[in-house]
Structure 1
Amino acid sequence: MKYNPVPRPDRTVIVKNNGYQYVYLTQCVKYSPRLKRSVPSRVSIGKLDENGMLIPNKKYFELFPDSNGLDELGDRADFISIGPHLVVDKISNQLSLYSLLETVFHDKADKILDIATYMIMSENNVMQYFDDYGYGHSLFNKANFTDSTIGKLLGSLTVCQMDLFIRSWVTMQNKDGIYVSYDSSNMNTVAGSLTLAEYGHAKDNPDLPQVNLSIGYNQTDKVPMFYEIYPGSIIDNTECQKMVERAKSYGCKDVGFILDRGYFSIENIKYFEKYDYDYILMTKGNAAFITKSTEESVALLKEGYQYYMEDYELYGKTIEKELFHTGKKQYIHIYYDGIAAEREKIIINQRFHKLDQQLEEKKNQIIKRQEDVAGYKKYYRLKFDENGYFQSYKRKDKEIKELINRAGFFAIITSRKMSASQALEIYRDRDAIEKVFRMEKIYLGNDVFRVHLDEHLESKVFISFIALIIRNEIYKSLKPLYLKNKKEYTVPKVLREYEKLGVTKLSDKKYHIRYKLTNKQKNILKQIGINEKEYIEFAREVIKPLDKN
């Protein structure tokens, strides 16, 4: 229910979110021992209209009970946007996503899709604004609903149901010969009470506990395939074997996995081979067999024009070896990038210049303990006097020369026989999963989880995975248009265009389609298989229940 505008009360602040100005009332100020400062406790009481007046929400009337006589505006806005509903309905049916949600979650499927659509359109996961969204948008659910209803829904979805959905979804995507890119990222949480929230190796906000999220992405068909959340303190390399076991339990066969160097270890390679999975792994340069293979290839790649790969502007060579005494051969693809090598050499020289300065400072400080300079021993000869004081240093020329000689080299190891060019082409396509994580964290608002219950976390991540599948399809559909006009056909711009598609209440108190589709809107909808006739039919179906109310 929406109400007529009122003046904005005192002790309020404005928070901008997705084009709206939300008003928060300061209730009290509390001291936070963790932050070591006073923190205001605030609650949302509505949002500002275009005239700077407050459109109150239900919380406003709890805090200002004398205002209960305000006129109600009605259940729905005069303009109802139907574009997001139309697009998500089309995509979810094309992918058989809707029918799978109905099969597993029954009457909860509509609300799940509504929340997923809201995440996509608002680009955040803050549920308290959902009823504002529902007020001006058509929904899968028959009626608008509030954040308290969402809380109950999140608490009602079971891990068993979500696992059944993922297993079924993987079965639908599982085809012979596909490659799955696998990666993980950490998501901060403001709630330390979550079981999975632990301090780990966060790149952003290391002072906050985190939950790790991993995603398996069908790189062949470009579809998010499965996900997993796990404690924030577990490192990527450790979780890799659990992922392999999970893939096996999902029934994945004849599948190859593509992983970056964070997952590279001999134990993980043996694990892939144990379950008969192919792999394409970026290696760590300090692995002994990689160093040896690189040394064997230095002269050939630097001087052998026959190894030049024109499409990538670098040199590549494949070495076939049995590395792990398992009876299986592996293929090491060694690459040399001359331009990158020169950049790396500059960085290496700058690094040793800085290390020289650090050692000079330590020498002048008369440091006695050898452990204070132990970290420099790999590339420096350190000398101490008879009393154990650090006296002098000298670079190890041989070791540094070897490091410089390896500049510009990198290696990929594969289980399947292929050329250096093929291995690099497949591996470089894995940047798609980096885009997927960017969608998840930036465009779906999951850089921080704002939940305090374990079951809510599980459910919210699950719904964001549904949103990820749908947004990924929107992204894929726009690729042809984006290549022609990179300014006009980004996903955020197109989402705003979806918002313009809608129906308007006129003086007869009924909703009408006021305008035909523009050429731009026709092109956007055409990419996902919607024509103007289908748009009009969908709008008429939306109008029927609106007019009855």
Structure 2
Amino acid sequence: MALVYLKNKTNGITYVYESENYWDKDKQQSRSRRTCIGKLDPQTGAFIPSKRLNKPIKPSSSKADSTSVTESKRHYAGATFLLDAIGNKLGITADLKKCFPEQYDQMLSVAYYLILEDHNPLIRFPKWASTHKHPYGKDIPSQRSSELFASITEEGRERFFRLQGRRRTETEYWAYDTTTISSYSECLNQVKYGVNKEHDPIPQMNLALLFGEQSNLPFYYRKLPGNISDVQTVKSLIADMEFLDYKKIKLVMDRGFYSEANINALFQHHLKFLIGVKVSLKYVQSELETARTQLQKWENFNSDYDLFACSRTITWKYTQHRPYKGDVLEGERRAYLHLYFNKEKEAEDAMKLSRLLTRLKQELESGKRDPAHEKAYAKYFEVTSTPKRGAVIRPKQEAIDAAAKNYGYFAMLSNEIKDPIEALAVYRNKDLIEKAFGNLKERLNFRRMEVSSERSLDGKLFVEFVALIYLSYIKKEMQEKKLFQRYTMQGLLDELDVIECYERPGHDLRFGEITKRQRELYELLEVAPPSSL
């Protein structure tokens, strides 16, 4: 007997039926009988047997069980077995099945391919599918993959974000950051010219990503126009958090997201935050002036990070514009300003400014002024011209000394974390999101968007995001178990990928020989190895 999953469009519940095929002699055709044996839990996706059954029947997790195999097959299955186990552990498979009951297995197969075949384009999927056991079990031609991406709805994506967000601990901080993805396409509305970290001279779009700092797993993303700055995205992020019904939100962000309006918005929505701030801000300078001497005392030195640290409790001047009442609500909020001083950073800052001043002076002397440097010219140099001597360039020593005064210092602001070292540890863990962007662009082959329509872009980006969850889990486990000392990620996946499985009509799925090293890898990744001969 085979199992059939049917979703009731009225109540949204997925019912599980036992389907038995038989030959109808009168109509001279094959028919089927279906018996409802239970349903899937709306929240967890777990099977709930019907009360009339004497004993629970556990439905198969695969559409192609041993009774449905019509021919003998041999496939590589060691790496996909690992991904199956991770998907079940993290709830990815259950959440996708709940959100995309008709497409989830195809989406998983494409995600598996992107993970296991490093840098290979989707045009090579048919070759991979013919040699590997994967959730869909069949080929997905290039045209069909475009249709698959276009069929992934916004409603389904949002539901998946909501389900995955609930699986993340509410006590951890969520790292928030953006990256740019370049494109040559002229058909995508959000592809715009903007400033990116890689200085690509082509249009781009931005991608915002949320990561759990303890779980090291992503659970939310949003694409943005390429000309939107980081500071403009925070209020939209807050609105999304409310819409997705995330609770007890704690955000950690770099100083590119800082503005008074954003801090006020975070206070207004009762969100906890830790954010980098510029030392040049007036209230930071005011606190730093009174703390400089105390800050660099030995008692404030931390040997783990080789820096000096202290905290100041400050009063934030809170304002809230209320258009519906036509007024401005003012008040005070408590916050913690964390100040740091690092000798190595002091030397780096001094060297950086010296190189900048040398470059600016050369540009002024040659007459090849850079429009982007006009403010810096005016800040650090006084340029005069005489008939005999021509242009005379004099440094503004007061401005240079003022900049040097802040060498080696940096600061952070929080409305929850009181201890400066705890704040620094949380903030530095934010680096994991930068590494995730690297995985998305490099390993998942998404540095350039090879799509021509908005719907295909949205769908492909979502499947790439699903693949990123798996990669993030594997990377976290490899780091904790120190597996990177012996393997690259691709090397580890290749080590497992050579394990074969055998399917024969009327027989259960059987795995081939598994070496001691392969078994140890499964166990270190916290996955029970498949049973073999």
Do the two structures share a fold, i.e. TM-score over 0.5? yes
Q: Is the 8 A contact 1:316 1:336 kept in 2?
A: yes
Could you tell me which runs of 5 or more consecutive residues in structure 1 were left unpaired when the two chains were aligned: 1-74, 538-549
AA aligned opposite 1:528 = L
Q: 1:505 offset after TM fit, Å?
A: 10
Aligned with 1:488 (options 486, 491, 496) = 486
Cross-structure match for 1:41: none
Pick 1 or 2: higher relative contact order, CA cutoff 8 A, min separation 6.
2
CA gap of 1:400–1:473, structure 2 versus 1, over 3 A, is same
- Answering whether residue 337 of structure 2 is matched by residue 332 of structure 1, we say yes
Do residues 120 (structure 1) and 118 (structure 2) align? no
1:536 and 2:528 are equivalent in the alignment? no
- Corresponding residue for 1:376? 377
Tell me how far apart the structure 1 counterparts of residues 361 and 190 of structure 2 sit (CA, whole Å): 43
Q: Please, which moves more after superposition, 135-144 or 421-430?
A: 135-144
Q: Quick one: structure 1 residues 144 and 342, their matched pair in 2 at CA, closer, same or farther if it must change by over 3 Å?
A: same
Q: Deviations over 1:189-210 (max 9, x none)?
A: 2322112222211333633221
Paired residue secondary structure (1:327): strand
- Is the Cα–Cα contact under 8 Å of residues 214 and 227 in structure 1 kept in the other structure? yes
Residue 329 of structure 1 aligns to a residue in which SS? strand
- Say which SS state the counterpart of residue 400 (structure 2) adopts: helix
**Structure 1 residues 280-359: aligned runs within 5 Å:** 280-302=274-296, 304-325=297-318, 326-359=331-364
Which piece of structure 1 moves more, 138-147 or 415-424? Answer: 138-147
* Residue in 2 that maps onto 1:248: 242
Cα distance in 2 for partners of 1:108, 1:519 equals 36
Matched residue type, 1:522:
R
1:102 is aligned to 2:71: no
Moved more, 184-193 or 523-532: 523-532
Q: What does residue range 57-68 of structure 1 map to in structure 2 within 5 Å? A: none
* Cα distance in structure 2, aligned partners of 1:264 and 1:279: 11
| Structure with the higher helix share, 1 or 2 | 1
Structure 2 residue runs without a partner (length 5+): 1-69, 319-330
Check whether the contact 1:119–1:125 (CA below 8 A) recurs between aligned residues. Answer: yes
**Structure 1 pair 417–511 and aligned structure 2 pair: CA distance change class (3 A):** closer
**Post-superposition shift, 1:77?**
12
Q: Structure 1 residues 372 and 522 mapped into 2: Cα distance closer, same or farther (>3 Å)?
A: closer
Contact 1:180 1:257 in 2 (8 A): yes
- Percent identity, please: 21
Give distance in 2, aligned partners of 1:107 and 1:262: 41
- Is residue 2:207 matched to residue 1:213? yes
Q: What TM-score do you get using the length of structure 1 for normalisation? A: 0.76
> Are residues 152 and 176 of structure 1, via their aligned partners in 2, closer, same or farther at CA, if it must alter by over 3 Å?
closer
1:145-160 superposed matches below 5 A: 145-160=140-155
- The structural deviation recorded for 1:299 is 2.4
Residue in 2 that maps onto 1:443 = 443
Select 1:268's aligned residue among 262, 271, 277: 262
Q: CA deviation at 1:373?
A: 6.2
**Aligned letter for 1:536?**
S
TM superposition shift of 1:513: 4.8
Paired position in structure 2 for 1:478 = 478
Q: What's the counterpart of residue 500 of structure 1?
A: 498
Alignment length (residue pairs)? 448
Q: Residues 299, 394 of structure 1: CA spacing in aligned structure 2 closer, same or farther, 3 A cutoff?
A: farther
Question: Is contact 1:194-1:452 (8 Å) kept?
Answer: yes
Aligned partner of 2:523 in structure 1 is: 526
- Displacement, 1:423? 0.8
Alpha carbons of structure 1 residues 268 and 339: separation in structure 2 relative to 1, 3 Å: same
Counterpart position of 2:397: 397
SS at match of 2:167: helix
Instruction: Please give the alpha-carbon distance, in whole angstroms, between the structure 1 residues aligned to 2:72 and 2:187.
Output: 39
- The 1:162–1:393 alpha-carbon spacing in structure 2 relative to 1, beyond 3 Å, is same
Question: Secondary structure, in 3 states, of the residue corresponding to 2:437?
Answer: helix
Stretch moving more, 493-502 or 129-138: 493-502
Distance (Å, rounded) in 2 between the aligned partners of 1:169 and 1:514: 34
Could you tell me how far 1:476 is from its partner in structure 2?
Answer: 1.9
Matched position secondary structure for 1:118: helix
Distance 2:406 2:242 in 1: 38
The CA deviation at 1:512 is 7.2
> Are residues 1:136 and 2:131 paired?
yes
CA contact (8 A) 2:80 2:497 kept: no
Amino acid at match of 1:310: S
